[in-house]
Structure 1
Amino acid sequence: MRRGECNEENGMSPSLISSWLPWTDRQGRFSGLRAAAFALVLVPALLLAVDAWMGQLGSKPWTQAVHDTGTWAVRLLLVTLAVSPLRRILDWGKLIGIRRMLGLSVLAYALGHLALYCIDLAFDWGLILSEIVKRFYLLVGITALVGLVALGMTSTDGMIRRMGAKRWQRLHNLIYVITMLGLLHFALQSKIDVTQPALVTGLFALLMVYRGLDKLKISLTTPVLIAAALATGLATALCETAWYALATGVSAWMVFQANADFVVYQDLASVRPGHWVALAGLTAALAGAFRRPKAKPARRVKTGAPARAMP
């Protein structure tokens, strides 16, 4: 018996196997876009592994690894949420094909985040549970993780059929609540320096603006995208200023002045979150302005009985 026949009898046809590979599409064909996305989601894990091998994680390597995996989980979550808006802005339908892969990579980094936290506490389950209960930011984080697990377990085509499209969509709309919980967890554990939390929160706000415009049936034209970018960037700067003023006691004027003096930035590290958010939005607007228009299909000529001659 040939190998292909044997595999088919066991329910493992070559086409079925290839369709599960992360670099192939639903038809089992190689997809450059999927392959690039799969490679990119592996990069943070590889960088972390190299830093650990080279001893570059500082005096508390497990703690640093916990922070790094959590940060990348949040970043990849925003990338996942950006797929649908970018698909509309860039008129690039194939982007939707990598959304599930990106979502599962978020779950993988979040689970790694929890696993490394347990390792850091030497698997002392009593200590781990007591820390989660008494520390609000840990309780928020574990709640977000439970939500991600639920979404990950129901992300297959089979679960969509079993649940029905409407119920499945209602469940997966919780991703926005889960994201807000993840951002809150990130901000609370950052304590004094909230530069990164402010940045990712501003980017999330920008994505929500895009979603709101779509719900309101407002076309994502270049002027609309530019206005959204500038408004969200300003809102991010104001929220960062308010956080420092209310939570840390740092002078609000100093923070606002740092956001205003964007011309005198000496390096990229000093660029404030509000400016990064505005720049991301303006980049999307520019990309949308120069996107390749769809080729219009040729008009069909109806065939049938020849028209009668005019008298």
Structure 2
Amino acid sequence: MYPWLDPSGRFSVFKLAVFIALLVPGALLLWPVIAQGGATIPVKDAILQSGDWTIRILLISLLITPLRRITRFSKLVQVRRQIGVGAFCYAIMHLCLYAISQNLDLGRIASEIVLRIYLTIGFVAVLGLAVLAATSTKAAMRKLGAKWGRLHKLVYPIAVLGVVHFFLQSKVDVSEATLMAGLFVALMLYRFAHWRGWALRSASTLIVIALVSGLTTAGIEYAWYALATGIPADRVAAANLEWMWPLRPAWNVLLVSLVMVVIYPFGRDGAGRAIMSNLAGSLRLKPQHSRGG
């Protein structure tokens, strides 16, 4: 019931830290809106930032499973639901801020959602996240049984809708949207590799996933500029072959994916699991027992 308690009901600093980390971005983006009484510019900035954080947190929730498989740190599962619900909360914040920007005119908001395809896509994604959040409880899991797992696989098309919404509202500068798309590809490749029975604790598998993810990201960026803008896509493709700062999305996806190659030995030999388990244990408040006279 409480996000700072572990499954045994004990206070966990690990879970509390994750909970606070989920709250911090929201507090930072809402503060200017509150401080300036809902002024137009802070609201518009907060709309964009809350949308960015929605997809970021959603992808972090999708990272938990492959990261657990690679590191064998099972306690990560304890925060997966918390992070997923956090993504839904940011999506609701995103929608509410948009409503504020429209002066809470429900008729206008509804018409905009129907008439603007990127808003339609985003709204469908929010509805999907609402369904997943509402059925994320243990009671819902027991009631739905085997159907629960199939229902929560909707997170994958929801993430795709979120990325498409990101692209469409970004218009010309799609660097952040491309990065999110590339990271989603990497997360799906980890799942595909596991489904095929390929060892995720194998350096070769992780390196291949990193390379394919980076190349696919470059392809997504090229396709967007070639099909949706008048900007020469060849220049974008050539830029991905150069090491420049800031890094292109393809390079970022490649480097982030290669981090898995660095951490996988911890899961393979058990040393990392021991370190993380000891750390998690030290961050858990243990009950004090009274001593007899």
Taking structure 2 as the reference length, what is the TM-score of the superposition? 0.88
Identify the residue that residue 229 of structure 2 maps to in structure 1: 248
Identify the residue that residue 275 of structure 2 maps to in structure 1: none
Measured in 1, the distance between the counterparts of 2:39 and 2:206 equals 42
Which structure is higher in RCO with an 8 Å CA cutoff and minimum separation 6?
2
1:60 positional shift? 1.9
1:291 positional shift? 3.9
- Say if 2:181 is the partner of 1:201: yes
Residue identity in the other structure for 1:281:
S
Unaligned runs of 5+ in 2: 272-293
Identify the residue that residue 223 of structure 1 maps to in structure 2: 204
1:64 positional shift? 1.4
Identify the residue that residue 17 of structure 1 maps to in structure 2: none
Residue identity in the other structure for 2:236:
V
Name the SS for the 1:118 alignment partner.
Answer: helix
Measured in 2, the distance between the counterparts of 1:239 and 1:129 equals 31
Q: Render the CA deviation track for 1:100-131: whole Å, top value 9, x for unaligned.
A: 10011011000011111111000111111110
20-29 vs 278-287, which deviates more? 20-29
Q: 1:107-256 maps to which residues of 2 (within 5 A)?
A: 107-164=88-145, 166-220=146-200, 221-256=202-237
Q: Number of residues paired by the alignment? A: 270
Measured in 2, the distance between the counterparts of 1:250 and 1:185 equals 20
Q: Render the CA deviation track for 1:123-175: whole Å, top value 9, x for unaligned.
A: 111111110111001111111111111111111000111111x1011100111
- Say if 2:6 is the partner of 1:25: yes
- C-alpha contact (below 8 Å) 2:32/2:42 kept by paired residues: no
199-208 vs 215-224, which deviates more? 215-224
Among 74, 81, 91, which residue is 2:62 paired with? 81
Residue identity in the other structure for 1:276:
N
Name the SS for the 2:48 alignment partner.
Answer: helix
- Say if 2:263 is the partner of 1:287: yes
Identify the residue that residue 239 of structure 2 maps to in structure 1: 258
Q: 1:295-310 maps to which residues of 2 (within 5 A)?
A: none
Measured in 1, the distance between the counterparts of 2:91 and 2:189 equals 26
Identify the residue that residue 46 of structure 1 maps to in structure 2: 27
1:70 positional shift? 0.8
Name the SS for the 1:21 alignment partner.
Answer: coil
Measured in 1, the distance between the counterparts of 2:160 and 2:59 equals 11
Which of the two has higher C-alpha Rg?
1
Sort the Cα spacing of 1:89 and 1:58 in 2 relative to 1 into closer, same or farther, 3 A: farther
- C-alpha contact (below 8 Å) 2:3/2:19 kept by paired residues: yes
Percent identity, aligned pairs only?
A: 42
